[in-house]
Amino acid sequence: MPPEPRSPAPPFRPVLLADLPGDRRDELAALAGRARDAAADVPAAIALAADAGSSLPEPGAGSTSYLWSALATLGAADLTVARVAEPHLDALAILGQAGLPVAPGAWGVYAAEGPGMPLQAHPDGSTDGSTRGSAWTLSGRKHWCSLAGHLDRALVSAWAGEERRLFEIDLHAPGVTPVAGTWVARGLPGVDSGPVDLDAVPARAVGEAGWYLERPGFAWGGLGVAAVWYGGAVGVARRLLAGATGGRAPDQVALMHLGAVDGVLHAARCALADAAAAIDAGRLVGVAGARSALRVRQVVAAAAEEVLTRAAHGLGPGPLATEEEHARRVVDLELYVRQWHAERDQAALGELLLDDPDPAW
């Protein structure tokens, strides 16, 4: 007799921040499957990011919860893929807000400050006649430049005198030199985020001085990062759940960890879903947007840290020592969530509350 047909493999589960219709759930499940196939593979992650950028909406366009569900789904599937896709999508959103066309290729966003002299921008005394504004050159060292040796273009912040501005550059241009041997991270090891040296690299201004930090999308981009953290925490929590139900009845300690993890993930999901709805309703601009970003990032980062701790306590050393996927996800999330500046961000939120108290409480 012929063998009985196997049951189809279960679909990859998306991570949902809202009650999405079936076709969108299917799209996210397919995205999760692609991300799992591209796990820890940077070229495949770049290709996935480019495809996602052509189909996912920008924040504030009425489907922010779907966009963040996609980012969370990527984070739960593989954080290398999510770490590549998130800044590419952010760059597209920034250029859209600036009303500028998007050159083809894979994009990064390099806007963090680092030690030493900041990157300097100098007008080159000419214009190119395009809609991209005055021509500039960038010189100096820019820190935290993820995959500068793999991507095509980037949005880079630099200082023009006393003013901070955003610029677009071609990462293949002469004068762009990623600094080798500086990325020693055990988490996200393939996403080299070391510094880049720039020597009179041609650049085009994106927005006026200060526009990058003052636009509503700055806070929205930070919230998108938090959606990835949430997805990464969900991935770890799913392993904890599998461990608690694998072959024996869970004991009270396992149940305690599961209950605690469910509670903090629920709080994180509610915070993200509320922020997504507020963005689409036009409420998260100005101080309200900055306050929401600081609040929600704190809630999600704290949830991720608790999930990591409880998974370690509940699962013990076995999965960390013998399961490549789980061990990679843990160290990736530990590094990724450090984009939350912890007590410094809490102090910034406190200062906002003193300057502009929240009428809700």
Closest CA to 171 of 155, 184, 154, 158: 154
Q: For residue 241, is pLDDT > 70?
A: yes
The stretch 297-313 carries a mean pLDDT of 98
Tell which residue, 287, 281, 324, has the closest CA to residue 78.
Answer: 324
Instruction: Give CA–CA dist 31/49, Å, rounded.
Output: 10
Fold exhibited by the domain 107-212? Butyryl-CoA Dehydrogenase, subunit A; domain 2 (2.40.110)
pLDDT confidence of 97, banded at 50, 70, 90? very high
> pLDDT tens digit string along 21-56?
999 999 999 999 999 999 999 999 999 999 999 999
Between the alpha carbon of residue 172 and those of residues 105, 134, 153, 169, 202, the distances in Å are: 11, 20, 8, 9, 11
Angstrom distance (rounded) from CA 121 to CA 140: 9
- What's the rounded mean pLDDT across residues 353-359? 87
Q: What is the pLDDT of residue 4?
A: 42
For the chain, what are the domain ranges? 22-98, 107-212, 215-355
Average pLDDT for 326-334: 98
DSSP 310-322: HHHHHH-SHHHHH
C-alpha span between 191 and 274 (Å, rounded): 31
Beta bridge partners of 198: 140, 176
Q: Is pLDDT at 101 greater than 80 in this prediction? A: yes
Residue that wins the pLDDT comparison between 12 and 51: 51
Tell me the per-residue pLDDT of 217-240, one tens digit each, with 9 for 90 and over. Answer: 999 999 999 999 999 999 999 999
CA 33/CA 39 separation, integer angstroms:
10
Helix axes 324-336, 286-315, angle to 10 degrees: 150
pLDDT at 133 exceeding the cut of 90: no
Architecture of the domain defined by 215-355: Up-down Bundle (1.20)
Which residues, at least 6 apart from 1, have a Cβ–Cβ distance to it below 8 Å?
A: none
Percent of the chain with pLDDT over 90: 87
